[in-house]
Chains A and B, each alone.
Chain A
Amino acid sequence: MSLRRTQALFRRVVREIRRDRPSIALLFIAPLVVTGLLTFILREGETPTIDALIVNQAGQPGTLVAAELTRALEAEGATVQAAADEVSARTAVADESATVAVLLPADLATAQPPTITILTNGLDPSADGAQVAAVQRAFLAVVASAANGAPPTIEHTTIYGVPSSDPLVAFAPALVAFFAYFFVYLLTGVSFLRERTGGTLERLMATPVARGEIVTGYSLGFGLFATLQVALLLVWVIGSVQVPSIGPLPAFAVGLGVDVAGSPVLAFLVVVVLALGAVSLGIFLSTFARTELQVIQFIPIVLTPQFLLSGVLFPISSLPAVLQPLTAIMPLTYAVDGLRQIFVRGADLGIAELRFDILVLVAFAIGFATVASLTIRREIA
C-alpha cells in the first residue's frame, strides 16, 4: 500500500466534494433540516380543534351528564354545542362543521352500564383518534366527579369506513401516492439529466422539436411506466390471492388485501395524474443538477417535507399552525386526501371534495409541465 497514492486519492475525494456544493448541503444541512422539521412537528404540533356536538336522547337524566360533559370538554379547550338529534349530528360531522358528536342513549339512566356512542368522520383515523381520546378523558372526569355507578361503555363509530378496523385502509392510499410520486420523479430526473449531460439535448434542440413536444413525449413515455407501476402497486395493495399449501409450504396470501370502499379505477386515475406531475417535476429539478447524485440530493429537500407534511404520517390538523399553509402547495396533500376519499369514504366523482382534489392535481401537472418546458429553453442559452 503506497502512502502517496492513498494520499492522492484522499485529496482528490476531498477536492471533488468541496467543489460540489449540493453534496455539502446534503451532508451537513439536510440532516439538520429534516430532523429539525420532524422535531418541530412532534413537539409543536397543534392540539386538534374539537368542535363537539352532544345529542341528549335520555331526556331529564341526560341533561346533567350533558352539562358535566360540556364543562369537562370545554376544560380541554373544545367548543361544545347541543344537537337536536342523531341525524343532524351526523350531517354536521359529515360536512366537517363538527369534528365529533357524542350520543347519550335513551337508556342512559337505566342500563348497567349504558353505551355512549362517539361519532367521528373516519377519513383520517389518526385525526379521529385524537377526538375520541379527548372525549374519553372528558368522560373520565365526569364519572370521577359523579362517582355513581359503573363507568359507561364507549363505542366509536364513523361516518365513513369502520373505525380502527385495519390501519392500512387509511395508510395504504398515502403510501401508494408517495411511492408513485417518488419513483417517477427519480426515474425522470435521472434520465433527463443524462439527456442534458450526454449532449443529446443540445442535439435535440438543433432539430425542429418543440419544448412542449419534449415534455409531452417524456410524460407519455414515463407516464406509461408510471401507469404500469401504479396498476401493479394498487393490485398488490388491494388484492389478496390465496395460494394453497404446496407440499411443505403452508398456504399464504399474495397481496396486502386492503379493503377499498370506492372504485380502484378512480384511485388509479388519481395516482396517474399525480405521477404525470412528477415527470415534469423531475425534468424541472434536473435543471439544477449537474450529476445524478445531485438529482438524488433533491429528495431530502423536496420530497421528505412532502412526506412529513402532506398527511401521509401525521394528520394535517395536528401539524404546527405555521406549517399548515405549506400543505396547500404540495401535490401529495391532494393525492393523499383524494385516495382516502376513495379508499375510506367510497367517494365517486359525485363527491365535491374528490373532484376538487383531482382538479388541483391536474392543475399541478399542467403547471409543472409548463415550468419544465420553460426551463428547457433556459438551459440552452
Chain B
Amino acid sequence: MGQPPVLATGSGGAGVPAIRAVGLCKSFGPIRAVDDISVDLAHGRIYGLLGPNGSGKTTLIRLLVGLAAPTAGSAEVLGVAMPSRDNLRRIGYMTQADGVYPSLTAAENASFFAAAYGIRDASAVAQALDVVELADRRDAITATLSGGQRRRLSLACALVHRPPVLFLDEPTVGVDPLLRIQFWEHFRTLADAGTTIIVSSHVMDEADRCDELLFMRSGRVSARGTGAELRRAAGTDDLELAFIRLSEGPEVEP
C-alpha cells in the first residue's frame, strides 16, 4: 500500500538512532508528567508506548515532537534536535484528540494537512484516504462522520506526507476490529519500508504486534522489552496481567 516513505536521513547518518531522548523531564507544577527519560529508538521499528492513564505517554510524545518545552533534557528526531520546525516535515503526529476541522470535508481536511506539510500532489491525499478506507466518504462533512471514521481521518492526516517517523497517540480507539487489523498490517508495511513508529495504546493484542514495548509509570519508562520479555519480567503469560502487575507492583528493572 502506497509508496515507501521518503527516507530522509538528513544530518542523521546510519549510526544515529531515529529518536533519542536524553534526561527528558516535563513538570506541570508539582506533577512530574515526564521524569528523566533517556531512550534511543532504532529506525524501522514499531515501538509500543504502554502505561496507565496519566503516566505521561502523551506528554512524552509532545516533547519528542517539540510541541512542549522540556523542563530539562533534550530530544532528537532523526539526528535533529527538537523543536525544529524544518524537521517536522519528516514527522507525522496523530494526536489523542481528533484535531480535524469539523466543517471541512474529509478530503479537504487531508489536503489541508498535506499542504501544511508542503505536499501538493493530490494522489497523496487519495492514498491516505484509501489507507483508512474513507475514499467513499471523501466528500462528507467531517462533523457528520461517525466517531471511528473521524479517528480514521485523523490518522490519514498524519500519514498524508509519508513521514519517516510517526507518532500515533492511541490511533485505534473507536476503530472496529477488522479495520484495526488492517491498520496494523499497514503500520507493519510502513515499518518494513523504514518508517519508525511510536504507538501509544491500551489494547494488549496491539501491544503484541509491536517490535518493542516501553512501559511507562509516573513519568518514567519503568520497563522496556519485547512482549515476551515483559511477560517474563512480570512473571505471567498474560500480557494484560503483566500490564496490571507492572502498573501496581514494585518497579521492575528492565
Q: Is there an interface contact between B85 and A380, defined as CB atoms closer than 8 Å?
A: no
Q: Is there an interface contact between B116 and A208, defined as CB atoms closer than 8 Å?
A: yes
For the complex formed, measure the closest distance between the CB of B51 and the CB atoms of chain A, giving whole angstroms: 21
**Complex Cα spacing A204 to B114, Å:** 11
A247 at the interface (CB under 8 A from B): no
For the complex formed, measure the closest distance between the CB of B162 and the CB atoms of chain A, giving whole angstroms: 14
Q: Is there an interface contact between A203 and B95, defined as CB atoms closer than 8 Å?
A: yes
**Complex Cα spacing A200 to B118, Å:** 17
Task: Tell me the chain B residues, 42-72 only, with Cβ under 8 Å from chain A.
Answer: 65, 67-69
Chain A residues near B248: list those with CB within 8 A.
none
Task: Tell me the chain A residues, 196-233 only, with Cβ under 8 Å from chain B.
Answer: 198-200, 202-210
Give the number of chain A interface residues (Cβ < 8 Å): 14
Interface flags, A183-201, vs B, CB<8A=1, else 0? 0000000000000001110
Q: Is there an interface contact between B68 and A208, defined as CB atoms closer than 8 Å?
A: no
Chain A residues near B157: list those with CB within 8 A.
203
Q: Is there an interface contact between B99 and A209, defined as CB atoms closer than 8 Å?
A: no
Q: Is there an interface contact between A209 and B95, defined as CB atoms closer than 8 Å?
A: no
**Complex Cα spacing A380 to B63, Å:** 11
Nearest neighbor of B157 in chain A, beta-carbon distance: A203
Q: Is there an interface contact between A206 and B91, defined as CB atoms closer than 8 Å?
A: yes
**Complex Cα spacing A200 to B109, Å:** 11
| Contacts across chains A and B counted by CB atoms under 8 Å | 46
Q: Is there an interface contact between B93 and A206, defined as CB atoms closer than 8 Å?
A: yes
For the complex formed, measure the closest distance between the CB of A135 and the CB atoms of chain B, giving whole angstroms: 60
**Complex Cα spacing A199 to B93, Å:** 12
A-B contact pairs, 17 of them (CB 8 A): A198-B97, A198-B102, A200-B99, A202-B95, A202-B97, A202-B99, A203-B99, A204-B116, A206-B65, A206-B67, A206-B91, A206-B93, A206-B95, A207-B88, A208-B85, A208-B116, A381-B69
B183 at the interface (CB under 8 A from A): no
Q: Is there an interface contact between A199 and B95, defined as CB atoms closer than 8 Å?
A: yes
Chain B residues near A204: list those with CB within 8 A.
116
Chain B residues near A203: list those with CB within 8 A.
93, 95, 99-100, 113, 157
Main secondary structure of the interface of A (DSSP, over half): loop
- The 3 A-B pairs of least Cβ separation, nearest first, read A199-B99, A203-B99, A207-B116
Chain B residues near A209: list those with CB within 8 A.
116
For the complex formed, measure the closest distance between the CB of A194 and the CB atoms of chain B, giving whole angstroms: 9
**Complex Cα spacing A202 to B96, Å:** 11
B98 at the interface (CB under 8 A from A): yes
Nearest neighbor of A203 in chain B, beta-carbon distance: B99
Chain A residues near B86: list those with CB within 8 A.
208
Chain A residues near B187: list those with CB within 8 A.
none
Other-chain contact of A207, B69, B101, B113 (Cβ < 8 Å): B113
Nearest neighbor of A210 in chain B, beta-carbon distance: B85
**Complex Cα spacing A122 to B218, Å:** 72
Chain A residues near B89: list those with CB within 8 A.
208
Q: Is there an interface contact between A205 and B67, defined as CB atoms closer than 8 Å?
A: yes
Given contacts A203-B93, A203-B95, A206-B67, 11 further A-B contacts (CB under 8 A): A198-B101, A199-B97, A202-B99, A205-B67, A206-B91, A207-B88, A207-B117, A208-B85, A208-B89, A208-B116, A208-B117
Nearest neighbor of A209 in chain B, beta-carbon distance: B116
Task: Tell me the chain B residues, 109-145 only, with Cβ under 8 Å from chain A.
Answer: 113, 116-118
Chain A residues near B113: list those with CB within 8 A.
203, 207
For the complex formed, measure the closest distance between the CB of A378 and the CB atoms of chain B, giving whole angstroms: 10
**Complex Cα spacing A199 to B88, Å:** 17
Chain A residues near B93: list those with CB within 8 A.
203, 206
Nearest neighbor of B65 in chain A, beta-carbon distance: A206
Task: Tell me the chain B residues, 3-17 only, with Cβ under 8 Å from chain A.
Answer: none
Q: Is there an interface contact between A208 and B100, defined as CB atoms closer than 8 Å?
A: no
Q: Is there an interface contact between B99 and A380, defined as CB atoms closer than 8 Å?
A: no
Other-chain contact of A206, B69, B88, B97, B102 (Cβ < 8 Å): B88
Nearest neighbor of B94 in chain A, beta-carbon distance: A203
For the complex formed, measure the closest distance between the CB of A221 and the CB atoms of chain B, giving whole angstroms: 12
**Complex Cα spacing A199 to B58, Å:** 13
For the complex formed, measure the closest distance between the CB of A254 and the CB atoms of chain B, giving whole angstroms: 33
**Complex Cα spacing A200 to B116, Å:** 12
Interface flags, B157-201, vs A, CB<8A=1, else 0? 100000000000000000000000000000000000000000000
Nearest neighbor of B167 in chain A, beta-carbon distance: A206
